[in-house]
Chain A
Amino acid sequence: MPENEILLEVKNLKMWFPITQGIIFQRHIGDIKAVDGISFYIRRGETLGLVGESGCGKSTTGRAILQLYRPTAGDVYFEGKNLCKLKGEELRRMRRKMQMIFQDPYASLNPRMTVGDIIGEPLEVHNIMKGKELRERVMELLEIVGLNRYFINRYPHEFSGGQRQRIGVARALAVQPDFIVCDEPISALDVSIQAQIINLLEELQAKFHLTYLFIAHDLSVVRHISDRVAVMYLGKIVELTTRDKLYSDARHPYTQALLSAVPIPDPVVEEKRKRIILVGDVPSPANPPKGCHFHTRCALKIEGTCDVVEPEFKDIGGEHWVACHRVA
């Protein structure tokens, strides 16, 4: 397998949700621009972190990539094939290679199905195996994610949050995918359990040569697990860079504010830190500000430029992209 091979490439992806008015005749009166033209790529075996605050479009991005929503515009190339152009059987075949782990392990497992049925379902759906062979494979998967193979006949309610998330991971692994979208996989878990799942995901990545898109709002966790990190704000990626540069050389004012807002578990460090406190709230994605989406909260705004012209998502060299007029 060649190094640096690009597994997934997203080009100018847009995902708008229509706002309608009226009961019988639904008039289209606007759009929620959840994802508004983003581009990036992920290399095979890499983890790309996608971070941002609630409503910035990070989860929508993950779903639009997997074609769980059909994107409004743009292209998603997976192993060179444009997923947005695929339909029916062809798309189904591609889905085997791409899986998802969900945020809420309480809502994402069907309470009426046994663990065996939950993990085995993707194998049946894709006609990979059945019967005894399937059962054996499910037991193997349970062991891979650190659960007892004899849990196979139990129901989700018998498990704790962390164990349920392991079941969700096993289900995603069942069809031996290349690429997994992890959508806030640890946000619902307790601190001491979070580390268990993070370590599990890292081990599995090394073992099966997986590629992750890791979506989360917790910057420390994203930075820990990712090779590169993309920061989203109101439907746009504002900055994308390597994990080290993100902390040492963040260029976008939003990234800087976000970094400074993350508490560090060390009172001595906290005492010395300067916080950039952002004023106000995130504007509505139904009516995003003109120009740079961040200009309404930005301390470095250039009057007449930032509120008029949308900044280009520029490659500033060394695996670093920024969308800001202040960055030359």
Chain B
Amino acid sequence: MGTLLQVKGLKTQFFTQDGVVNAVNGIDFDLNEGETLGIVGESGCGKSVSVLSLMRLIPSPPGRIVGGEAWFQGRDLLKMSEEEIRSVRGNKIAMIFQDPMTSLNPVLTINQQVSEALELHLGMDKRQARKRTIELLEMVRIPDAANRVDDYPHQFSGGMRQRVMIAMGLSCNPQLLIADEPTTALDVTIQAQIIDLVKQLKKEIGMAVIWITHDLGVVAGLADRVNVMYAGYIVESADVKDMYADPRHPYTLGLLGSIPRLDAERKAKLTPIEGLPPDLIDMPPGCPFAPRCRYAIDRCLEENPKLETVARRHSVACWVDVTGGKR
């Protein structure tokens, strides 16, 4: 399995009236072909901004990618011209968004919207594109696709709209599908349908997936690897089973302790993470999590730890070894 995407030192900032927002602060990660990477974190941790940076979809101004590289099939996405990146976007790398209600155009039919990418990237004519659109809708299990292809988005339910978004994302056989909280706006039974669908399609097509979510449960059932983000940094990165069986960063531990599990035996008290995430304009000098951290030592308040390997394919950015050993 080769490396599909290699991100090095990605740094994105927003220059606002109130000051510089440090949204993504130099992150590194790799993604293999056919792999599913989960990026987990809370609002404002930089998980969406980091993938939007890869797609070069950061609104500028106020945003700017101030540093880093992102190698995809031998080319740096961040250095491409506007025209080059447009040929990648929606073609080799596709993206689906959180809110299927607002990411579809309400005045165009489903056919017009899905066909657009087919005509643009694959040079199909209208008739071919329509035929392929119907196939794609069937692939994402939209019943009666041949008739519903001329419907407008408002005639579809939330779950079906997200299926249309997925169909659109898959239309050009991408190598990488980026899904930014695609099920957050959906009900849990519909979420299960969508996750099931993406898993099956991944098997059929063999694409890699980056799945962004705040839900540790969703990631557990879906991802091969997980990156946990906090305040614009990746604080822990591991294979999915190691992440849950042997979490090493206090923030990951905190997240796991603060969610009730459906299969928990009895009513145990939750352990919340006290305090609030830091202000991204005025970041503390040391580890961004230190003010909320139960394990924090003096060093944490002064020096920000780098992501370092602690076990096989498992790296953590923390001065303290939470397992009790000395580092």
Contact = CB atoms under 8 A, between A and B. Distances in A.
**A and B: bona fide binding partners:** yes
Interface of A: 53-54, 160, 162, 190-196, 198-199, 202, 217-221, 223-225, 243, 247, 257-271, 273, 275, 277-278, 281-282
B92 interface: no
B272 A263 contact: no
B42 A192 contact: yes
A313 B274 CA distance: 43
A46 to B, nearest CB: 13
A257 B187 CA distance: 12
Most B C-beta atoms less than 10 A away, residue of A53, A190, A202, A282: A190
Contact of B220 (A220, A270, A278, A282): A270
Contacts of A192: 42, 254-255, 258, 272-273
A219 B273 contact: no
Contact of B217 (A202, A263, A268, A282): A263
22 contacts: A53-B187, A191-B216, A191-B258, A192-B273, A195-B257, A195-B270, A199-B269, A217-B188, A224-B267, A247-B262, A259-B262, A263-B215, A263-B218, A264-B220, A264-B262, A265-B256, A265-B261, A267-B221, A268-B241, A271-B221, A278-B189, A281-B160
Contacts of B261: 220, 264-266
Nearest to B193: A277
Given A192-B273, A220-B217, 12 more contacts: A160-B276, A190-B214, A191-B216, A192-B255, A194-B259, A198-B260, A218-B188, A257-B189, A261-B188, A262-B262, A268-B245, A275-B192
A171 B299 CA distance: 41
B98 interface: no
A265 B259 contact: yes
A198 B258 CA distance: 10
Contact of A278 (B193, B241, B270): B193
B1 interface: no
Most B C-beta atoms less than 10 A away, residue of A224, A262, A267, A281: A267
Contact of A54 (B187, B193, B195, B277): B187
B216 A265 contact: yes
B104 interface: no
A281 B188 contact: no
Interface in B63-114: none
B15 interface: no
A53 B270 contact: no
Contacts of A264: 217, 220-221, 261-263
B311 interface: no
Nearest to B256: A265
A195 B272 CA distance: 5
A202 B157 CA distance: 36
B240 interface: yes
B259 A191 contact: yes
B16 interface: no
B82 to A, nearest CB: 35
B159 interface: yes
Contacts of B269: 199, 202
B43 interface: yes
Contacts of A223: 260, 262
Nearest to A160: B276
B272 A261 contact: no
Contacts of A261: 188-189, 191-192
Contact of A281 (B159, B219, B257): B159
Contacts of B263: 247, 264, 269
Interface residues of B, number: 47
A258 B188 CA distance: 7
Contacts of A277: 189, 192-193, 196
Nearest to A197: B272
Given A192-B273, A195-B270, A266 B244 contact: yes
Nearest to A163: B276
B262 to A, nearest CB: 4
Nearest to A146: B274
Contacts of B187: 53-54, 217, 282
B267 A243 contact: yes
B258 A195 contact: yes
Contacts of B267: 224, 243
A187 to B, nearest CB: 11
A59 to B, nearest CB: 14
Contacts of B241: 267-268
Contact of B260 (A220, A263, A273, A275): A220
A221 B215 CA distance: 13
Contacts of B188: 53, 217-219, 258, 261-262
Contacts of B272: 192-196, 198-199
B298 to A, nearest CB: 24
Q: What are the 9 closest A-B residue pairs judged by CB atoms, nearest first?
A: A263-B217, A224-B260, A195-B272, A195-B258, A270-B221, A261-B192, A53-B187, A192-B273, A195-B270
B196 A191 contact: no
A327 to B, nearest CB: 20
Nearest to A226: B267
B3 interface: no
A263 B194 CA distance: 13
Contacts of A258: 188-189
A262 B269 CA distance: 20
Interface in B182-226: 187-193, 195-196, 214-221
A143 B276 CA distance: 18
A278 B159 CA distance: 12
A165 to B, nearest CB: 13
A257 B243 CA distance: 28
Contacts of A54: 187
A224 to B, nearest CB: 3
A192 to B, nearest CB: 4
Contacts of B128: none
Nearest to B258: A195
